């Protein structure tokens, strides 16, 4: 069964965006809410960074985590993990 794509309007840290996705709307809105909290926390931390900078920093953090997890998974699949 093919998932149906739908347009979802989101508010992320005060910015309204619309995306088209086949993901569950509640799931996407939870992701947007989590992202909003993270961006708002980073931008209000007293470091003087903008919400855009906070979003970019968080994206970099997530990419780092993603790459490291993929490398570990690859090592595990190739039998090289922990050696």
pTM above 0.85, yes or no: no
Give the residue ranges of the chain where pLDDT is below 50: none
Instruction: Look at residue 45 in the predicted model and tell me its pLDDT.
Output: 81
Contacts of 40 by beta carbon, 8 Å cutoff, 6+ apart? 13, 51, 54
Q: What is the number of helices (H) and of strands (E) in the chain?
A: 2, 2
Instruction: Look at residue 46 in the predicted model and tell me its pLDDT.
Output: 74
Q: How far apart are CA 48 and CA 39, in angstroms?
A: 13
Instruction: Look at residue 73 in the predicted model and tell me its pLDDT.
Output: 93
- The residue among 2, 1, 29, 62 whose CA lies nearest residue 12 is 29
What would the two tokens of residue 1 be? 């069964």
For residue 15, the cross-strand partners are 12
């Amino acid at each position: 069964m093919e998932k149906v794509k739908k347009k979802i309007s989101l508010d992320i840290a005060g910015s309204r965006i619309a995306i088209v996705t086949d993901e569950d709307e509640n799931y996407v809105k939870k992701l947007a809410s989590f992202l909003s909290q993270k961006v708002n926390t980073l931008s209000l931390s007293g470091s003087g960074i903008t919400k855009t900078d906070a979003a970019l920093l968080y994206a970099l953090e997530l990419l780092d985590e993603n790459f490291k997890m993929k490398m570990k998974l690859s090592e595990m699949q190739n039998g090289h993990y922990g050696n």
